[in-house]
Amino acid sequence: MRSLYGKFLSFTTGIMLTSTIIAFLIVNTYYHQQLKGQNDAKNMDIALAIADYIEKEKPSDLASYFRTQAATGYKLFIVNENRKASMYGTPFRVENLRTASVEQVLDGQLYHGMRDLETETFMTGFFSDQLANTVGVPFTYNGEAYALFMRPNIKMLFTEVHFLLGGMVVVMAIVSLLSMLIVAKKLIEPITKLTAAAKKVGDEKFTGTLDIHRRDEIGQLAQSFQRMTEKLSENDRMRKEFISDVSHDFQSPLLNIKGYANLLMDSELPEQERQSYAKVIHSETERLSSLTKQLLLLTSLDQLESPLKPSKFRLDEQLKEVIRKQRWLLEEKQMSLVMELDESEIIGDPAFLEKVWENLLSNALKYTDAGGEIDIRLTDGTDKVKVTIQDNGAGIAAQHLSRLFDRFYRVDHSRTQEVEGTGLGLSIVHQVVKLHEGRVEIDSEEEVGTAFTVTLPKL
């Protein structure tokens, strides 16, 4: 597999070559369509001026005169009426002048070889060093007819300025290419670092900081990758803690069930103890059942897509139904209940919100002593509703409040009365309310009581 750096080098070289070819084709097309005729006319005027000078001034040494003209930057091809040809200046690369063209000029006509040169795709007519690419004029000298064919000597036309300009173009191309390679290396270097970091993340190695400090798109990508890595590291930590906590929370009741089941196998066990052990087994079984249900509920809440199925329903009626289900426990503990519920209609998922009220009310009942009081209020606002469930139970110490919504987090067991909680209830409350774009607030003081306030948007 070719590296990105190699691909960049290939693309850069290819673009430079392609642009050169395209530029050449454009210039060549422009010459043939616009400049070829003008170049022919200009050189025809020069050739006619030479012929006119010869006929009027009659230089004593015609060959010497032609050598002088060739030295000024022209290639000359002379044919006399006896068809004897002479060349002055550097030879033509291709001597392809047709005999008919020579006869044409000897007969007194002009030859426009530059103008009539056939278009060639990959050869600019101006540089085509062919004998056919000339202009031809007739002249007479000492009563003898001659044909003069002429074109500029391109090599001699390239002066020091042209070489300087050409050298400058070549140096610019080389410097540009080298600069692009350096820039490409600088651009690809952070991508290489990102690739190495991504491989580490693939191997579940989430530690380390990317040493990429840029303000462009690559810098933004590096920052996003760093945040993603930190989030994955946190998720990995939470996952491991979650597995550890789940294992512990399943192991403890299972060991209790196993131990008390072994005790129940004793045939001489008194009936009172047998019932006590059976009650413990039943309690631990209920705890496992509750833990399993809550884990399944959290799994559905953790889906990538929202698991909510919102619909319009009466919140006050739902709260009354949840309270009715728990009335037996209120009577058993001889607790009083105060309700102030405004009529309120909201849009939300009734099934998940019911779990919120069940968990909050269950906590209030669990951690409030017999004869205590629970106060439930529903306040209906213009665009939001507020539900407050307050008890006068044991309360929660301030140092625990910030972690109450963490999964499996439980305050010390002294708060637990008969049934030990799973540590998942408040986590479910927090996540369900968050999915409904609401918030949960806690106000608690030890030995005074706890109040949970849930605020939800109505629509």
Contact 368, 390 (CB under 8 A): no
Cα–Cα distance, 232 to 237 (Å, whole number): 8
- Characterize the bridge pairing of strands 74-80 and 336-341: unpaired
pLDDT in tens, 104-119: 999 999 999 888 887 6
Taking the CA of residue 117 as centre, how many other CA atoms within 13 Å lie in the half-sphere pointing to its CB?
31
**50-60 mean pLDDT:** 91
Lowest average pLDDT, out of 11-25, 203-217, 392-406, goes to: 203-217
The residue extents of the domains of the chain are: 4-157, 311-457
**142-161 mean pLDDT:** 81
Q: Same CATH topology for 4-157 and 311-457?
A: no
The whole-number pLDDT of residue 353 equals: 92
pLDDT band at 80 (very low <50, low <70, confident <90, very high): very high
- Which CATH number does 311-457 carry? 3.30.565.10
- Residue 48 pLDDT more than 50? yes
Contact 101, 131 (CB under 8 A): no
pLDDT in tens, 230-286: 777 777 776 776 676 667 667 777 888 888 888 888 888 888 888 888 888 888 888
Sheet holding 373-380, edge to edge: 336-341, 373-380, 384-391, 449-457, 439-445
- Residue 121 pLDDT more than 80? no
Locate 248 and state its tokens. Answer: 């512990």
Q: What are residue 348's DSSP bridge partners?
A: 311
Cα–Cα distance, 454 to 439 (Å, whole number): 6
Nearest to 448 by CA among 385, 403, 409, 395: 395
- Residue 374 pLDDT more than 90? yes
Contact 325, 289 (CB under 8 A): no
Taking the CA of residue 426 as centre, how many other CA atoms within 13 Å lie in the half-sphere pointing to its CB?
21
- Residue 417 pLDDT more than 50? no
pLDDT in tens, 308-338: 788 999 999 999 999 988 888 888 888 999 9
pLDDT band at 346 (very low <50, low <70, confident <90, very high): very high
**276-299 mean pLDDT:** 78
The whole-number pLDDT of residue 415 equals: 40
The whole-number pLDDT of residue 20 equals: 80
Query: 12-43 as b/e, with b when 16 or more CB fall inside 10 Å?
Result: beeeeeeeeeeeeeeebeebbeeebeebbeeb
- State the chain's mean pLDDT as an integer: 82
pLDDT band at 418 (very low <50, low <70, confident <90, very high): very low
164 versus 343: the higher-pLDDT residue is: 343
Q: Which CATH architecture has domain 4-157?
A: 2-Layer Sandwich (3.30)
Q: What are residue 314's DSSP bridge partners?
A: 345
Q: Tally Cβ neighbours within 10 Å of residue 346.
A: 23
Rounded (10°) CA dihedral 67, 68, 70, 76? -60
CA diameter of the chain: 155
- Residue 101 pLDDT more than 90? yes
